[in-house]
Amino acid sequence: QQPVQSPQAVILREGEDAVINCSSSKALYSVHWYRQKHGEAPVFLMILLTGGEQKGHDKISASFNEKKQQSSLYLTASQLSYSGTYFCGTELRGGADGLTFGKGTHLIIQP
Amino acid sequence: DAEITQSPRHKITETGRQVTLACHQTWNHNNMFWYRQDLGHGLRLIHYSYGVQDTNKGEVSDGYSVSRSNTEDLPLTLESAASSQTSVYFCASSESSRSARTEAFFGQGTRLTVV
């Protein structure tokens, strides 16, 4: 079952902040975040694991609310290079269904 | 350098033909995944494998099959190609054993057109 991402699209000015949300109706084992530029493969940004462990990127942060099964990706002081489509990927507790991605959030950063 | 490669990068085939897309990784990763990407649907999981001889169906597995005879390869076969299978296909791999708790690396994708 695909996680639900919001918003579907965001347009920002350079330097502004953005938050992208990802939620699941089922208990999660891990949440991944990836960014994809047009015509390219998705690239890893961050993993959040149950128990609070977090691995990822210096200038991008994320949180995971285990009670709500929700994760948020925070992009602060956005740069033009942040433009792209952001995907969250989730693995359900029990590991029974692989790594499933949401429909993506399109982020456009304008100068 | 270790990598993950997909071939071919572009393929045009006719309806009803059997097609196989190749995915090869040199990281010795246990996990491999196949996704299709369509506008408005994001990345949808087709099949995945947590190791040799292990294969599992994803959310959109109908009309597709995979086999894992070694660690490096997970070929994706379309048994009888349909126009609805026109898409961009991505293969990915990750290290963890029987879970997805580590970074996944994606191949560059295969654009498949079924006419």
| Segment B2-17 mean pLDDT | 95
For A55-101, the pLDDT digits (tens) are 566 678 898 888 889 999 999 888 999 999 999 999 887 766 789 99
d(CA A64, CA A54): 9
- What is the number of CB-based contacts under 8 A between chain A and chain B? 76
Q: Which of B36, B38, B43, B106 to mutate to test the interface with A (most CBs of A within 10 A)?
A: B43
Cβ within 8 Å of residue A53, ≥6 positions away: none
B14 to chain A nearest CA, in Å? 24
Task: Give residue A81's region: left, alpha or beta (phi > 0; psi -120 to 50).
Answer: alpha
Binning pLDDT at 50, 70 and 90, where does residue A31 land? very high
For B16-29, the pLDDT digits (tens) are 999 999 999 999 99
The distance of Cα B6 from the centroid of its chain, to the nearest Å, equals 9
Residue among A110, A48, A11 nearest B100 (CA): A48
Cβ within 8 Å of residue A58, ≥6 positions away: none
Q: Residue B102 has what pLDDT?
A: 81
For B76-101, the pLDDT digits (tens) are 999 999 999 999 999 999 987 666 67
Q: Residue A96 has what pLDDT?
A: 64
Q: Residue A37 has what pLDDT?
A: 96
Query: b/e map of B80-114 (b: 16 or more CB within 10 Å)?
Result: ebeeebbbbbbbbbbebeebbbbbbbbbebbebeb
Residues of A in contact with B94 (CB under 8 A): 99
Which residue is closest to B32 within chain A, CA to CA?
A98
Beta strand A9-13 pairing with A18-23: unpaired
For B39-67, the pLDDT digits (tens) are 989 999 999 999 999 999 999 999 999 99
Q: Residue B4 has what pLDDT?
A: 96
Residues of B in contact with A2 (CB under 8 A): 42, 44, 59
Residues of A in contact with B105 (CB under 8 A): 44
